Amino acid sequence: MCLAVPGRVVKIEERDGTRMADVDFGGVVKEVCLEYLPDLQVGEYAVVHVGFALQRLDEESARQTLELFESLGMLQEEFGDPWELAAEAGGTPPPKREEARK
């Protein structure tokens, strides 16, 4: 959770009066809130934490950090299935998948 990952803005739009973006984290695209960096533009990079862009980054340092995180398996930790990770940590099978409950 503490991990803040650099990502690249690929699309920006207003949703319910809030400035939101689709952000690409080395292949995984997530919805990110831009309210704390409202002038961020498509193509720019930012440090993103729990779905919020918190600070601008230049492309080169963003790319390097992403490559490092990927090589260390940290992107899997951040974006992988949390129930499976928790089950593995506890040595027990994961409960029913969330989709089944909706």
Residues that bind other proteins (CB under 8 A): 1-4, 16-18, 30-33, 35-38, 47, 49-52, 54-55, 57-58, 61, 64-65, 67-68, 72, 77, 79, 82-83, 85-87, 89-92, 95, 98, 101
Residues 15, 74, 39, 42, CA torsion sign: negative
Longest Cα–Cα distance of the chain, Å, equals 45
- Minimal distance in Å, beta carbon 61 to other proteins? 5
Q: Which is nearer to other proteins, 18 or 42 (CB)?
A: 18
For residue 100, give every residue at least 6 positions away whose Cβ sits within 8 Å of its Cβ, in sequence order, or none. Answer: none
